[in-house]
């Protein structure tokens, strides 16, 4: 079946690293994504990773992919208050005509 | 920067009424999508559309729903005979290519409230 699972909440101290985890089900997914949703806004693509990669780094963001365990993570270094949002993990389903989203992880930053 | 625009931003309707949600995708994009997000829940795929026909649809997208690209710029989602459980935020998205090659660009959503 199609399912992408994430924990619902994460709270971190400002300046610390945030790690948001995700598991997915479609082993033939070719692309996996992280989207960010700020309050009242749409979904913004943060980064994506090809399934033949283990890691991708983009400034403060690091994506790790464990294809064997179907586990994806997003690490945000030096978390800032502006990083407060809901982060959605998503996979390009094997049919390639749709992206399936997880339920989102709400990241809150404490001072 | 080009963007996907959606109207209305919020619509309140009575149960049983028909609703049309409108989207203007980015002009050179070829693939179009509707997703919905019931409050506090995950973003759910409804339908993808390419070359004037549906590419794929989910179980949610039953006969109550239809999509259309009436004039080459708008992409609409029609919900016939709305039900209470149709209350959600509906997101339109478009992409230049399929998959990533084509990043999905999302609109800011249309909030539908069915009373």
Tell me whether residues A44 and B106 touch, CB distance under 8 A.
Answer: yes
Tell me whether residues A43 and B91 touch, CB distance under 8 A.
Answer: yes
Is B72 in CB contact (< 8 Å) with chain A? no
Alpha-carbon span B74 to A91, nearest angstrom: 27
Residues A25-37 pLDDT 10s:
877 777 889 999 9
Tell me whether residues B108 and A40 touch, CB distance under 8 A.
Answer: yes
Please state, in angstroms and as integers, the Cα–Cα distance from residue B12 to each residue in A10, A42, B18, B77, B106, following that order. 33, 20, 11, 16, 22
List residues bridging with A48 in a β-sheet.
A33
- Best of B21, B94, B100 to mutate (most A CBs within 10 Å, chain A): B100
Is B96 in CB contact (< 8 Å) with chain A? no
Contacts of A42 in chain B (CB under 8 A): 4, 91, 106-109
Indicate whether B110 pLDDT > 60: yes
Q: What is the mean pLDDT of residues B28-49?
A: 90
Tell me whether residues B56 and A88 touch, CB distance under 8 A.
Answer: no
Indicate whether B41 pLDDT > 60: yes
Residues A53-100 pLDDT 10s:
899 999 999 999 999 999 999 999 999 999 999 999 998 876 667 788
Residues A4-20 pLDDT 10s:
899 889 999 999 999 99
């Amino acid at each position: 079946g199609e399912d992408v699972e994430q924990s619902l909440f994460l709270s971190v101290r400002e300046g610390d690293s945030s790690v948001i985890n995700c598991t997915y089900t479609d082993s033939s997914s070719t692309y996996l994504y992280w989207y960010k949703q700020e309050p009242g806004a749409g979904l913004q693509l943060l980064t994506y990773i090809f399934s033949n990669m283990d890691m991708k780094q983009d400034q403060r963001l690091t994506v790790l992919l464990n294809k064997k365990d179907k586990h994806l993570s997003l690490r945000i270094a030096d978390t800032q208050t502006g990083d407060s949002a809901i982060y959605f993990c998503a996979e390009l389903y094997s049919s390639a005509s749709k992206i399936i989203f997880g339920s989102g992880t709400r990241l809150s930053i404490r001072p | 920067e080009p963007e996907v625009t959606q109207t209305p931003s919020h619509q309140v309707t009575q149960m049983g009424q028909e609703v049309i949600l409108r989207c203007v995708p980015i002009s050179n994009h070829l693939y179009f999508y509707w997703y919905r997000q019931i409050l506090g829940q995950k973003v759910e795929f409804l339908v993808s559309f390419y070359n004037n026909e549906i590419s794929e649809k989910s179980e949610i997208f039953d006969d109550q729903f239809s999509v259309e690209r009436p004039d080459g710029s708008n992409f609409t989602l029609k919900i016939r005979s709305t039900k209470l459980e149709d209350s959600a935020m509906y997101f339109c998205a478009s992409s230049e290519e399929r998959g990533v090659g084509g990043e999905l660009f999302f609109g800011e959503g249309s909030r539908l409230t069915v009373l």
